[in-house]
Amino acid sequence: MARTMDHRESTLDRTILDHLKRDGLLTEGHFAYRSGRHSALHLDRDRLLADPGAASRMGYALAKRFFNDHLHTVASPSIWGAGLAQWVAYFLDPRAKVVYATPRDGQPTIAPRLESLIAGQRVLLIDNLIMSGATMGRFDELITGLGGEVIGIGALWNATEPTIGTEPVFGLLNELYEAFPAASCPLCAAGASEPVEIPY
Ligand SMILES: [Zn+2]
């Protein structure tokens, strides 16, 4: 199993892409997101993690990116990210613990009994998708505030800035489908038809 890899090499194997396309979970076109960015990618976010076979493969691909980071805990701000976080933690060696936030008054909260899995630990933050970065930004502050050392941020796809706070975001599908600021969108530059507005 490769422990290091060139960042230009796609982390996501073709069978996952073929699966996502065949099942209509991934469509290609020209899309505008609320982050202000454009992309050739659109994902069916409701069904993206519904198939455990595909979810496990995507979790493995994310874990592979962070194999060498000696992670103790994988933490997620959302219920969607929590399902993915289980797979990522399972494939890390040694396996990591999983912590996910429960919303209270609209804010992600970590149950006090789980704080020992965060304080003084090396933590990877995982969500399924990062659309505006606001949720993950708040979660990063929460985890850091509890004494966790945030080692990385990962998601299936990142529709916004390539960093949150000072942390670079690893978007599994961004290697193939970047989210460009509208002003530098290569699809617009190539004269593509108007982007389809995505309401999130
Ligand atoms: Zn565009």
Mean pLDDT, the chain, rounded, equals: 92
Read off the pLDDT band of 3 (50, 70, 90).
very low
- pLDDT tens-place string over residues 79-97: 999 999 999 999 999 999 9
Degrees, nearest 5: CA angle 45-49-50 = 105
pLDDT, residue 2, reads 42
Residues above pLDDT 70, as percent of the chain: 94
User: What is the rounded average pLDDT of the residues 174-200?
Assistant: 96
User: What is the rounded average pLDDT of the residues 36-49?
Assistant: 95
Give the residue extent of every domain in the chain: 14-197
DSSP notation for 133-178: SHHHHHHHHHHHHTT-EEEEEEEEEE-S-SEETTEEEEEGGGGTS-
8-21 exposure pattern, b = at least 16 Cβ within 10 A, e = fewer: eeebbeeebeebbe
Per-residue pLDDT for 21 more than 50?
Answer: yes
Read off the pLDDT band of 10 (50, 70, 90).
low
Per-residue pLDDT for 131 more than 80?
Answer: yes
Task: Please tell me the distance from the alpha carbon of residue 147 to that of residue 87, in angstroms, as a whole number.
Answer: 24
Task: Please tell me the distance from the alpha carbon of residue 58 to that of residue 49, in angstroms, as a whole number.
Answer: 9
CATH class, range 14-197:
alpha beta
198: CA distance to ligand 1 center in Å? 12
Ranking 7-21, 84-98, 146-160, 182-196 by mean pLDDT, the lowest is 7-21
Q: List residues, by chain if needed, whose CB lies under 5 Å from ion ligand 1.
A: 38, 185, 187-188
88: CA distance to ligand 1 center in Å? 32
pLDDT, residue 4, reads 43
- pLDDT tens-place string over residues 96-128: 999 999 988 878 899 999 999 999 999 999 999
pLDDT, residue 106, reads 76
In contact, 146 and 118? CB cutoff 8 Å: yes
24: CA distance to ligand 1 center in Å? 22
pLDDT, residue 11, reads 65
29: CA distance to ligand 1 center in Å? 10
183-193 exposure pattern, b = at least 16 Cβ within 10 A, e = fewer: eebebbeeeee
Question: Backbone phi, then psi, for 130, in 5-degree steps?
Answer: -115, 110
Per-residue pLDDT for 74 more than 50?
Answer: yes
How far apart, in Å, are the Cα atoms of 146 and each of 107, 156, 197? Answer: 15, 25, 38
